[in-house]
Each structure stands twice: as C-alpha cells, then as structure tokens.
Structure 1
Amino acid sequence: IQYLAVDRFYPEWDVWTQYVADVFSQFLVLDALKSSHPIEVPIGHPSEIDGIFDTISYATGSSVIRMLHDYIGDDAFRKGLHNYLKDYSYKNTVTFNLWSHLAKASGKPLIEVMSSWTLQMGYPLVTVYEEQQLNKTRVIKLTQQRFIADGSTDDDNLQWTIPITIFTKSNPKSIAKEILMDKPEITITLENISEDDWIKLNYNSIGLYRVKYEPKTLARLNEPIANKILSPQDRLMIQDDVAALCNAGHQSFVDYLKLLLSYKDEDNFTVWKSIASTIGNLSSLLEYTDYFDQFKKYRLNLCSSIQNRIGWDATTNENPLVAMLRPIILTLLGKSDDQAIIDEAKYRFQQHMSGNLIDPNIRPAVYVVVSHYGDKNSALSRVGRDIVWKFLQKNWTELVERFGENSVFLIYFVESGLCNFVDEKITSEIQSFFDSANTSTVTLAEVLRFYKTTKGSELRIMRQIHKNFNIVCLLDTYINFEENIDIQQIFKELDQCEQYIRSISSSNQLILIVSSDFSQELIPEIHQLSQVYSIYIYCHHEQEFNQHWTEQYNKVKGIYYEIDQLIASIKSNEVGIRAITAVDEPLSMSICNVSNDYEQTTSDLDGRFVHSQLLIDCLLRMEPLSTDKNEFISFCLNEYHDNEDMLKIIKEFEDDYSSDRVIWWYTRETFIYRILNKSLRIQNIDLLFTLRFLIRDIEQQLQQHQCSSPITVYRGQLISIEELELLKQSKGKLVSMNSFLSTSLNRNTALVYLNTNINDNTRLQRILFEIDADPCRNDIKPFANISSFSYFPTEDEILMMLGSVFRVNNLYLDEDQIWIMNITLCSDNDHDLKSIVDCMKNQYGSEQTRLLLFGHVLVDMAYFDDAEKYYHRLLKDLSSDDKDICNCYHALGKVTCEKGNYDASLIWLYKSLEIMKQKLKKNHSQIGFIYTSIGEVYQKQGNIKQALESYEKALDIWMKTYDNDKHEYVAWCFNNIANIYVMEKKYSEALEYNKKALEIKEKILPSSHPCLGNTYLNIGNVYYHIGQYDTALKNYELSKKTYEISLTPQHPSIASVLKNIGIIYEVKGDFSEAIKCYKQAYSIRQTCFSLSHPDVIDIKQDIERISNK
C-alpha cells in the first residue's frame, strides 16, 4: 500500500520497478524454497505473532495484495476494503470474511482464487507453448507447476488459480487477453498476430508466477527489451525469470547470456541491479575455469555502451537513479580488466589518500576495483565471514535485547552474517548455537532457510555424488568400454580417486577397477570401506603381475590382462551384486507381539506392524491407471537425467515393459530395483504411490508362479546390533518384512554372500534366515521360484511377496559366529492383530477409491502433509459432479484441522456440508460425520457453544439412523459431547457420557482398536479434573497401551496421552517422570507438525515450565 501512495504523488520515482526488485523478487527467491511457509498460518500463542511476520510473510503478503488489487481493480478494492473494515470495526474476524467482502464488491470468485495463494506455500511456473496458424491466429498452451529453486519436482502437486494477462506487439501498453488459469493446463487463442510478433505474459510483472518461454518466443522479446518498449518491471523480470530457471537447471545459462545482449543500452538502475547480481554469481562460478577470460570480454561488451553514456561524474540535474547505476557499471567494467577504468579508479583513490574526497556515489566502485587489483590475498580473503560469525555469537544477547529476537532487522542481520557459509561443520555449529541460545524457533528457521539458499547450488552438485554408483575406475591408460557397463567415474590420479571413494555414503555400493600400477598403494587404504564391495585389477603390461600380496584382500576378485575378460568377469559376477547389495541394506521389518501377556507388548513395533500391513493393502487395492507407467518414467528421467547409460535403459523400459516381464525388470540391476527397494525401506510415500503398478504386477506374477510344495530357503543379511537385540526378543512373535524378500534355495549361496561382504565393522552382525514356507496354507502371501523368468536365470532365487509375515521359531549363534534365525511363513489369519487390521480396512471401505483411500491411510499413519497433498491431487482429477468431491472436501477439512489450520478446515468442511445437503437426505449418516468434524474444529478453537451444537446435530442424525445408542458412531458422539462437558466443568455428565461410549465400543470393537484408546483418554481426563489422579493415570496407561498396539509410534494421539501422563506426574511432584513424558510427546509432535503448530508450542511450554522446578 505504501508503494501505491508514493506512486500517486511521485510517479517519476519509478517505485514499482524498485518494488519488483526489492520486494517481489525477494518473494520469488524465498517462496521457491522447500522450507517456505504459507502466508496464513495458525497462531498458538500471542508471543508467536512477531516471529510469524518474517521476510516471507511481508514479501509474499504484499505481492499477493498487489496482484489482488490489480485483478479486481482499484475501485472494487477500495469499496470492498471499506465495507470490510466498517462491518468488523468492533468484531473478531477471519480471512474468509475479507475475501467475501472483496468478492462482493468486485463480482469475482475471490474465495476460490485467494485460497490457493494464502493457504499453500510456493508459487507457479507457467510454461508457454505456442503454435502459429495460417490466418494470423496463434494458439498458446499454458501449463503450471510449482517452481522450486533447487530444480526438483513438486512432491505436493500444488496448483493455483492464476490471473493471467497477455499483451502483444500490436498494443504493448494494454492487456490483450485476461483469463483465470484454474487448471494444470489451458489453451488460449490470440487473433491478428503475425508470425514475427512478440507476446508477453504478466503485464508489468504483477502476477505471482515465473514464466518460461520456448526459445523462439523468448528470442522475439529481444526487440521490445532493447528498444525499451516494455516497462522496466517487465524488462527486469524477463531476465530474472530466465536466471532463476537456469539456476534451477530448467534452462542453460547460454540462453541467459544471449538474452542479456539485448540489455546493452539499458539505463534503468533497478534493472541493472538485478542483472549485476546474476553476473556476479556467474563470475564466482567461472573465476577459476578456462572460460573466465572469455566471460570478462563478454562483460566488457555488455557494459561499455552504457558507461560511455553516463561516464564517471554526475551531471547537473541528473536523475538520482543514474547516480545509483554508475557504480554498478564501473565495478563490472573494472573487474573485467578494462584498463581505462582501472587506471582512473587508481588515480581517484590516490587523490583520495591525499585528502580529496571521492563522490560518495562512486566510492564503492573505486574501492572494489582498487582492492581487486591490489594484493590478491587480501582482496579475496574471506576472514570477514568468520569475524561476523564470532561477533554474532559474542553479542547475541545484546542484539536480542536491542532489536527483539523476531524482528525483521535482526533476521536480516543474521542473514547477511551467515549466508556465505557452505559446509556441514559450520551448519552444525550454527544450529547448536541457536538451539542453546535464548532464541525462538522462528529465528532459527530463518537462519537455516538462508543457509539452504546459499547452499542450493552445492547441493545440486552433491546429489550427483550421492547416487548409487556401480563402477569407479582408476586407470593409467585409456580403455574403451564398448560393453554396456555402467561406468560412473574414471580417475587418472590416485589421490582424487581415494578422496572420491571416501566421500561416498556407506549406504552406496561400488565396484572398483584399478590399474596394477596403482593397486598396491590404493587397495590397502580403501579395502575396509563398506562402500567398496569388489575390486578388479587391470594389468596392461606384458610382464606378469605379482599377485601374492592381494591374497589378504578378499574383495579383490582377480587380475586381468585383457579388458574383455575383465568385463566378462564383472558380468558373470553381477549375479551376486544385487544379493550383496541386499545383504548390506538395512532390514525393513515390523514385529508383532502375539503373546497373551499384555504387559509384554512391543508397542512401537506393533503399531508399525499394523500400519505396514494397511499401507501394503491400500497400494494393492488402488485401481491402476493408464498413466501410472508414464508417471514412473517421468520420475526416472528426472532422477537420471545426467546418466546416458541409464537413460537408454529407461527408454528400453518405456518401449518393452509389460506386466508379464516385471520380474525380469525387477531382477535386472537397474533403476527399478534400486528405486523400489529404497522407497519401501524408507517408506517414501510419493515413490510408493508412483510404483504401485509395479508392486501389483509383481504380486500377480508371484501368484501365477506360486511354488506348489513346501520349501526351505535362505537369506543372508548384515544387521545392526540394535536390530539384532530386537530379534533376540522376538522368539514366538511375528515379523513382517516390508519389502520383497529375495532368498535362495541354496544355503551355501547365502553364506557366500555373507562371507564375501563381511569386514571389521563391529556395528554389523551376520545373520542367516532359514525360512520354511508351505504354499498349502490358506491366505499366505505368494512366493515363487523366479529363475526361469529372472534377468539372472542361473540363480536359484525364490522371491517372497512384500508384507510377508513370519513366525520366529529360534535364534542362535553357530560355530562360525553367524546368527541363525529359523522362521516360518504364516497365514494372514495367524496373528492376534488381524482383528484390528481387518476392522481398520473395513473403515476404509472395500471399493477401489484410489487417492481418497490412500489419503485416509496416510492420515491414520500421521503423514498429514502427504495426505493433504494426495487429497488435493484427487480434487484436481475429479469432475465437478463426482460423488467423491464432497468426501474429498471433508478429508481436507479433517487433515487441515490436524495441522492446526482451523480457518482453512472450516472452509473445506462447510463446502462438503453444502454439497451433501444438496445430494443426500436430511438425516443421512454422512452428514453426521461432517457435523462431527465441524464440532471438533470449533472445540479446538475454544468455541464451545458451536461445537456442542454440531455434536448434537450429529448425534440426532445417528440416533435416528442406527439402533439408538448401539452404534460406534453414537459412541463417538458421546465422547465428543463428554469433552464439551469437561470444558464446561460438568464432570459428572462428562463421566456418564464417556462410560456410555466405552460400553458401546467394548461390545463392537477389537480390544486394541484406537477408538477405545480415545475413550480411555477421555475418562482419564475427567478423573484428573476431579482430583482422582491414580484413577486418571490408570486410564491414561490403558489408552497409551491401546494406541501403541494400533497406531504408528509417531502418531499425535500417543503424544496427547504422554502429555496427560506427564501432567499427572507433575501434579504428584515426580518431575523427572513428568519431563520424560513431556519430552517424548514433544519428539512426536515436532515430527508430525510444524514448529508453529499449537500442540508443539504447548508441549514446549510444559517442558520449559517444569525445567524451572
């Protein structure tokens, strides 16, 4: 608003161009980070308010208001804002009311438009494709996706409703087309456009999006840039967008440098300020390369014309912006070896040293140029960074006292002091300091955000290093690897090779090919590294190689005098590579206690067991789509975009894959095996969703080729000491393997892999699984001998289905110091938790509902961000009349409530309620669900009256729909109403309703169902309020044990009951037990929620309070 006022009084100041450079471009940088946040975030305590108003909030908020003002027009904006302020002068209000008033004043769909800009973080990249028709018509296709600074794809599949403006050569001062882009892709037709005419999106760069043009479209803009037909804002943002796209890897910097040549006569300071920033970054990258001299010549060519016009000294009545432009140009030319500039700078500096003042406007340029060509060591020293960091550490307390720990000024100060550090050690030091300092989580978040910004380029480089490399070579001669062998790195220097090998994560695996001349020096140094799995020595000399010294190194597979033999040996041994890799991968398992002794439950593992089974069931039940394979291929192309050999295999997969060849592709040592196993191991939800078609295809193949008789198979594995301790305690229990399990019919084969891979790492233990499997048992996961259709037909491999459940019979250490574990494949009906799993499956329904079902499972696993993302994805795919639209709105309302965003939750829930009322009968049970969810939101907001009204509406519906008070939903309502009575301090009524709920649930639900845990928790709360602490604690413990069996260890419900147990201990004066519970609850909540979530802030305050006792 302040810029709007200044522009009205002083249009010659060109404040909007300064706004674009100083505010809008800052928003584009910060909101492109994965660590960004939405404008609208929940506030849990007044102390958070200052912290929430950070750089992102200011830059993004003002940019949104600017776009909103332009979209609805000045008159409507003033009218709507006036009416809003008038109506809520003496009332509380929420964002929804502001959009309603502005929408009414303008007649435009602001609620739908603005929710995508305020409730989700980030902004879109609009890509422009165009096709010229014969009749002076141009068809333009626009697509949108989230722009992320590091070049990665949008995991959340966010979409925006974008006010698109287009203007053209024929009328560059007015908008030719204005349209709302509310889909991922739209097509626009422009009339009377000649083939050579330029077009540009985003008039005056007001819209909150970046634009990517095709090369021909971008090239046409050179003319309006050079002739200054476009406004300064547009000239600035065209090059800024291209630079950002280059930094993200979407375009080449060659395109950017070509574009800049059209700015040779640019005379706007603000535009040049932006250009100079990018030129400076490129200079840093190229300074120590062979291309830097050419780049300096390019800078001379770019800047000479404008310098000749503005010179060194100001003229009479000169525009102040020209005075600000001059030092930028002089600095660029001086650092580009322009001798005339260098000599003049040195002359003026000498005059300055003699007592003559330098014009303050050019003083920075003189200092920079003189220091640049002075003593190089001094000029390039980075000691200043360390001085600033030490100053911050020493004076932090005083800085906080002076400026306030969440002030924008202090955050800027932290940014400028820390933004140039780029190593892991200093990151740890910075985080440790701010963790221990008396500072807020918001300030720390800002520190780490700017650190990540600076480090973005380095992270993109490091991503290439940390992939799973296959083969690394250290050679003293050239070798032409004509075979299809995946060579990742070739070195000629021993030190570089060793340094590279040591830099690789121990979870990655490599094969080393080393020349004989290097072998005796390198192998002893790297043999013990776990990332080195096998070594091949290539001897190209005619004389025989002395190989006796290699006998002590069991990873050396042989010495080869012919490269063809070496390659053939690698190929033959490659049969073992996959098994060796699997040996050293972390074991992905869940353990279920089947003991009748409730006290012996391995609680955390039981929860994992239940939800691993649910997740697998959901993935297999989801209806396959024709686009599944294409989505996976797109992911792989992005993941391996710089690996030509892998790209060829991906193309082969695209052309040749069919469901009956899935085992062949899975067993081939390529991207499928790596990606699938890693995503299963770490539960990468996005990857698992993309890979679900492969998982289904593998299951079908295993079912078709199921073994027909009982077998015993073997699996060698390296496991951690911690995993071994869990397995030692698992006798008689059930183990679920949460990945496909590759086993061998040959016991010696499994042992060979173990013996081959063992080293001196005492943190790993060798274990051999002996697995008995009988296909005649009912309801077992399939397993099959895949030798005949595997990529390695010589292997005697039995592949067991993902999610197979085994009973542990015995575990002992044999004479070879190998742990032997005998397990039996079980039926899905064998475990005690089957009733819980089946009950929760039934709650999701039996139909294949694709993303809606998937989202529900993720919510139950407390993956709220992932669930919200998939609900949004479903919402985009559904037609406006689809029956699941209202269910999707309902789901979004529930998950945003869980995340603490109550305003957004109510918007979604009332949308769902409105549709359900139109489509369903008045007392339909589904409407009861909506009222219940609305009541829960109001309850969390402290709006007791509206919460109770909503619960009573739900109860009325369900009492009429079901058999009075004998249904689970009725019990749910009793619990909710009881909670309201607690808030009203009507404890006897609360206890009565909770006991009614418990009576119903005990009759109809399994004994370990999480809904019973909710009721135990509620009853405990009542007893706490009436002072019966022992009875309260007893119910809390029952709740906790129930949750731990049926929920994941990081579920927020477990955190809630831990907090309540902590309160009881605190009241009883047992502070050590209390703080233990609070810290456990905090650990869970910070995993599930953002640091600004009310529940996180609440438990943190509990810890701080009791720490002072």
Structure 2
Amino acid sequence: MGFFIGDLHRQIEQLHQEQYADPTASNTFTVYRGQGLSIEDFEQMVKIKGGLISFNNFLFASKDPKISLGSAQDATINPDQVGVFFIMEINPTQTTVPIASIAGISKLQGEDEEEVLFSMHSVFRIQDINEMDGNNSLYQVNLVLAAGNDPELSRITDYIRQRQESTPNSEGWYRLGMILQEMGQFGTAEDIYQILLNQTNDDKNKASIYGQLGLIKYKQGEYQEALTFYQKYLDVQQQSLSPNDPELASSYDNIGLVHHSMGNYPKALSYYETTLEIQRQSLPLNHLDLASSYNNTGLVHYYMHDYLKALFYYEKNLEIKHQSLVPNHPNLAMSYNNIGLMYYHMRDHLKALSYYEKALEIQRQSLPLNHPDLATTSNNIGLVHYYMHNYLKALSSHEKALEIRQQSLPPIHPDLATSSNNIGLVFEKKGNYAEARTFYEHAIQIGQQSLPSNSPHLQGYRKNLERVKNK
C-alpha cells in the first residue's frame, strides 16, 4: 500500500531533475508558508532556534507571500495556536530532498499562485524568529533548506531511515489521509481510507478508518453519512473496550456533535450525557475533556432554550477550567461569556454584565487587541447596556466592536453588519435618526453581499431602516 507515497515521491524527484538540470535554473530562491502551530510546538521551535527542523510529511509552499501570510493570520483566530509565517530560502542544487514547482499541475492554487512541493522529511535550519507587528500570536520564522553535507542533518537522516524501515506502509497511507484532510482534499483522503478499509481484516484498524471517514463526512456537511461511519466506529469499539473506556466517550461525543449540527438536540443531548457518564468514571474530575463535555451539554440546553440547565453545565465547565488553566487563559473568557449569555437571556442584566466584563478583562491580557473575540465580548456588553438604557455606554461598546471587526475581518463579513445595526439601534433610541439611518443602510449593504436574501437578520435590518425613515 505504500506505492502511493512512493509514486508521489518519484514524481517530485522526476520534476526536480527536469526543472533544475540547467545550472542557470538552480539559483537560490524564496518560498513562503503560513500555518498555525500549537503553543507547545511553537515554544519547542523557539527553544531550538539555530538548529534544524524536519517536516515529516509532504510540504506545500507558495511563491506568493500574501497568500501565505493570510493563512498565518487566519490561524491566530484560534487562541490555542500561534500563526507562523515561514520564509524559506531554497538552493535546489544542495538539497537532499527533491522539490518541484507544480505550477500548472496543482488544483489547489489560484491562477496567479505558484506552489512548490517538497517530498517527505525536508529539513531546514531555523535562522530567526520574530514577532510580527507587535502581535504576540503571529511570528515570522526564517528558514534555510539544509544542505546535504550538514553533519547535524546526517544524524537526522539516519534516524528517519531507521524509522521508515520500522514503520508499516499502511501507517504512511493513514498519515497521508490526515494530511490531505488538513489541506481540504477530502475526496482524495476518502479514497485512501476506502482502499485501506478494503485491504484490512483487523477490526482495530477498521475502527480507526471508520472514525476518519466519519470526520471527513462531518467536515463536508454530509451528516447522515458521518453518523453511519461514527456508529460503525462505536460498534467495533464496544466489542473490544470496557464500558467506561475514554475512547468510547470520544465516539459518543462525535455522534452527539453530528446530531447537534443537524439540529437533533434531544439526540445530541443523549449522546453528550453518555459521554459525561463515562468520563466521570474514567477521568480525573478536573480533566479538560470533562470541561469540554459540560460545555457541549450546556450548548444543547441553550439551543433548547433551557437556560437554567445550560447555566448549570456552563458553571461546571468554568469550575474545571479554574482548576486546570492559568488565570488569564482565553478559554476562561469563553466560559465567562457563555455564562453571561445565559444571564442575558434570563434578563438578569447586572449578572450578565459582570461575567462579560470578566471575559473582556481576560481577553485584553491574553489576545491581540484586534482579535475578533474582543469584538464579540464588546458587542455583548453593548447589548446589555442597551437593554439597561445606558445608551452612551452601549454606543461606546458597539463602536469598539465595530472598530476591531473592521481591522480583523473581511469588509463584507456578516459581523460587521451586526455591529452597524447595533449602533443604528442605539442612535435611534437617542433620537438621532439620521445617524441611525446611515448605520442601518450600511448593515443592509453588507448583509446583501454576505447573507441569503431570506436571512432573518437581513430582514431585520430592512425593517429597522423603514421604521426610522418614518420618524
């Protein structure tokens, strides 16, 4: 089964020989790659600055820095990741790993983008690591492709060779499927897993493949098929695992997530509760997986408009995070926001405001000041002040939310329409109808470009504009 990876390697090798046979075509050049790294992985990379880093899978890079920088910036939206903008200096005549330009070959690239594909186990030396634009979630990392005569590289090469000799080919296929999923190539990943499924008789291997196929279908929005694969995964696990095994909890959670996405809230709740039951028996009571399950269960109760029960589970989630996370961790802010939202729906505006302000305080300490999460919390605070008739404070919060969203989101993002509409509502309450009309019109303009024509939000913006026209 390893022929697929081997064939791809040989194709890159052949292109490399064709493209760099001419000495005039072998000058050093630069390519770029943007991606997110976990905080732990990034900190490890900082520790080995000046040393070597190996990319153990096939690696795409672009000759267009703007596209790669955008990918790195997008990664900063996740508070558990660091956005990394790699600048890679390449001398194709000195590399031990074949590389090739795939301009005109790759279906992933745009018309103006030229991509370069590295075969597996490309190794770079980390030259420099610098924060970008004062954003402690976004870094530029300068790399130089390691030459074949590098003594440190020789030691790594020996290790890789030993690892390849001891790793079954099926594992390579499985990893490649995961890489393709990360690249958004779900159809190709599915083909690989179907081949693996057809060629294995081992139930444990089948279970893992069912799980990956379920994940692919879920990401594609094909929820019924995702349920089928996740259920097969669970059926195999139930034959070999004890009833309180944490892996079973993960499978129940996956099925619950699919039902949740389909709007089947009672079924989702049933699976989430089973997940919780297993985790309470098998995990420490302050384990973050438990916190995640409490959050999921609370979210379903919220969508079912049972705010008291949702509040109970969100408070359980916050209790665990207090024990397991540092005091200014962004995930704590998320929990405070969720609890604030429950109090908001229960019309306890003072308590809602208190939790929203705690969330904002943490976010200001732990996130870039233009992070979209700060805009969300500022928006929530503005809504509470609006319903408490504190219109000046509401206006200040909504204007701050709009300012952040203008800096961090595309110009036609629906959240910009939301902020414009909220500012319009405040101006209308203050009797400033001309200003209100301007912001309602702006909300409609964005909504027409980013929302379906029958969107209730867009219909609401239009009703607001018509109302203010008559004043």
Q: Structure 1 length as normaliser, TM-score? A: 0.24
Are residue 973 (structure 1) and residue 335 (structure 2) matched?
A: yes
The offset of 1:925, in angstroms, is 2.3
Q: Distance in 1 between matches of 2:133 and 2:254?
A: 30
Q: How does 1:699-710 map to 2 (within 5 A)?
A: 699=60
The alignment partner of 1:1008 has SS state of: coil
Q: Distance in 2 between matches of 1:947 and 1:1102?
A: 29
1:857–1:1011 Cα change, 3 Å: farther
Q: Distance in 1 between matches of 2:415 and 2:341?
A: 15
Q: How does 1:649-798 map to 2 (within 5 A)?
A: 657-659=7-9, 661-662=11-12, 664-665=14-15, 696-699=57-60, 735-737=66-68, 780-785=87-92
- Contact 2:374 2:401 (C-alpha < 8 Å) held by counterparts: yes
1:958–1:836 Cα change, 3 Å: same
Match for 1:924: what amino acid?
A: H
Q: Distance in 1 between matches of 2:252 and 2:405?
A: 27
The alignment partner of 1:942 has SS state of: coil
- Contact 1:1055 1:1082 (C-alpha < 8 Å) held by counterparts: no
Q: Distance in 2 between matches of 1:905 and 1:660?
A: 47
- Contact 2:448 2:458 (C-alpha < 8 Å) held by counterparts: yes
1:1086–1:1061 Cα change, 3 Å: farther
Aligned to 1:1024: 386
Aligned to 2:361: 999
Give CA deviations for 1:788-846 in whole Å, capped at 9, x if unaligned. Answer: 97899xxxxxx8658xxxxxxxxxxxxxxxxxxxxxxx9773533863357xxxxxxxx
Match for 1:958: what amino acid?
A: K
Q: Distance in 1 between matches of 2:180 and 2:369?
A: 24
Q: Distance in 1 between matches of 2:247 and 2:330?
A: 23
Q: 1:872 aligns with which of 201, 226, 232?
A: 226
Are residue 1011 (structure 1) and residue 368 (structure 2) matched?
A: no
Are residue 941 (structure 1) and residue 273 (structure 2) matched?
A: no
The offset of 1:849, in angstroms, is 12
Give CA deviations for 1:238-297 in whole Å, capped at 9, x if unaligned. Answer: xxxxxxxxxxxxxxxxxxxxxxxxxxxxxxxxxxxxxxxxxxxxxxxxxxxxxxxxxxxx
The alignment partner of 2:352 has SS state of: helix
- Contact 1:902 1:937 (C-alpha < 8 Å) held by counterparts: yes
Give CA deviations for 1:453-490 in whole Å, capped at 9, x if unaligned. Answer: xxxxxxxxxxxxxxxxxxxxxxxxxxxxxxxxxxxxxx
1:1049–1:959 Cα change, 3 Å: same
Give CA deviations for 1:329-372 in whole Å, capped at 9, x if unaligned. Answer: xxxxxxxxxxxxxxxxxxxxxxxxxxxxxxxxxxxxxxxxxxxx
1:1082–1:1060 Cα change, 3 Å: farther
- Contact 1:780 1:827 (C-alpha < 8 Å) held by counterparts: no
Aligned residue pair count: 318
Q: Which has the higher contact order (CA 8 A, sep 6+)?
A: 2
Q: Distance in 2 between matches of 1:893 and 1:1056?
A: 30
The alignment partner of 1:836 has SS state of: strand
Q: Distance in 1 between matches of 2:183 and 2:392?
A: 36
Aligned to 2:446: 1080
The alignment partner of 2:87 has SS state of: coil
Q: Distance in 2 between matches of 1:1052 and 1:864?
A: 26
Q: How does 1:178-577 map to 2 (within 5 A)?
A: none
In proportion to residue count, which structure has more helix?
2
Q: Structure 2 length as normaliser, TM-score? A: 0.51
RMSD: 5.2
- Contact 2:379 2:419 (C-alpha < 8 Å) held by counterparts: yes
- Contact 1:935 1:950 (C-alpha < 8 Å) held by counterparts: yes
Aligned to 1:189: none
Match for 2:87: what amino acid?
A: I
1:1051–1:1071 Cα change, 3 Å: closer
The alignment partner of 1:780 has SS state of: strand
Are residue 958 (structure 1) and residue 308 (structure 2) matched?
A: no
- Contact 2:135 2:368 (C-alpha < 8 Å) held by counterparts: no
- Contact 1:779 1:829 (C-alpha < 8 Å) held by counterparts: no
Q: How does 1:628-643 map to 2 (within 5 A)?
A: 629=4
Q: Distance in 2 between matches of 1:853 and 1:791?
A: 19
Q: How does 1:49-64 map to 2 (within 5 A)?
A: none
Unaligned runs of 5+ in 1: 1-625, 631-655, 670-693, 703-713, 716-733, 740-777, 793-798, 803-825, 839-847
Aligned to 1:987: 349
Aligned to 1:1100: 459
The offset of 1:1074, in angstroms, is 0.9
Q: Which moved more, 1:826-835 or 1:936-945?
A: 826-835
1:888–1:1028 Cα change, 3 Å: farther
Q: Distance in 1 between matches of 2:447 and 2:367?
A: 27
Give CA deviations for 1:413-451 in whole Å, capped at 9, x if unaligned. Answer: xxxxxxxxxxxxxxxxxxxxxxxxxxxxxxxxxxxxxxx
Match for 2:450: what amino acid?
A: I
Unaligned runs of 5+ in 2: 20-54, 71-84, 102-113, 118-126, 140-174, 186-215
Are residue 829 (structure 1) and residue 183 (structure 2) matched?
A: no
Q: Distance in 1 between matches of 2:389 and 2:282?
A: 48
Q: Distance in 2 between matches of 1:664 and 1:958?
A: 52
Q: Distance in 2 between matches of 1:884 and 1:1051?
A: 38
Q: Distance in 1 between matches of 2:273 and 2:177?
A: 24
Q: Distance in 2 between matches of 1:867 and 1:1075?
A: 35
The offset of 1:935, in angstroms, is 2.0
Match for 1:866: what amino acid?
A: K
1:856–1:971 Cα change, 3 Å: farther
Identical positions, percent: 23
1:939–1:699 Cα change, 3 Å: closer
1:1006–1:830 Cα change, 3 Å: closer
- Contact 1:864 1:898 (C-alpha < 8 Å) held by counterparts: no
The offset of 1:1076, in angstroms, is 2.3
